[in-house]
Amino acid sequence: MRKSSKFRLLLLFIAGIIFIVFVLVMQRQFNNPDFDFQNEASEVNELENDEETEKADAADEDADTDEESGDSESEEESEETDADTGDSNEEEYEVTAEVLNIRSSPNADSEVVETLVNGDIVQLIGEEDEYEWVEISYQDVTGYANAGYLEAVE
């Protein structure tokens, strides 16, 4: 054989060995218990959910700030909303906010137990306080949400 043919064959052999080593390293990393793709993906989803939760928290706090301003108009609106929501059991309401947090207690600082999206249907259990926090139920979760982000389903 010629020298150039032997050189090409040697380069092809070396490239093949490098490829095999690369595949083995990648396979080992893929099977490595420290490298868990699903956990990596869930962490990314959690970060996205945290961002949405922060936006919803800000909306909840804005609603709380508006309610605490003490306007007589907001008190009248609150009374109208009280009359609209009532205390009847298991009324269905639709979420009107892009993201709405269900919280463990009726304040913006409490733990978020579930996050709802626009269009979700919840059951109103009862009204909690003058700040429009209502107790609701969604699937197996019960908690509190601001009534300003709920609309009665007809």
Place of tokens 């197996």: 140
pLDDT in the model for residue 19: 96
- The mean pLDDT of 22-35, rounded to a whole number, is 75
The structure's pTM equals 0.43
Confidence of residue 126 (pLDDT cuts 50, 70, 90): confident
pLDDT in the model for residue 17: 96
pLDDT more than 70, % of the chain? 62
With left for phi above 0 and alpha for psi between -120 and 50, is residue 133 left, alpha or beta? beta
State whether residue 89 is helix, strand or coil.
Answer: coil
Q: Estimate to the nearest angstrom the gap between the alpha carbon of 141 and the chain centroid.
A: 15
Are the C-beta atoms of residues 90 and 122 closer than 8 Å to each other? no
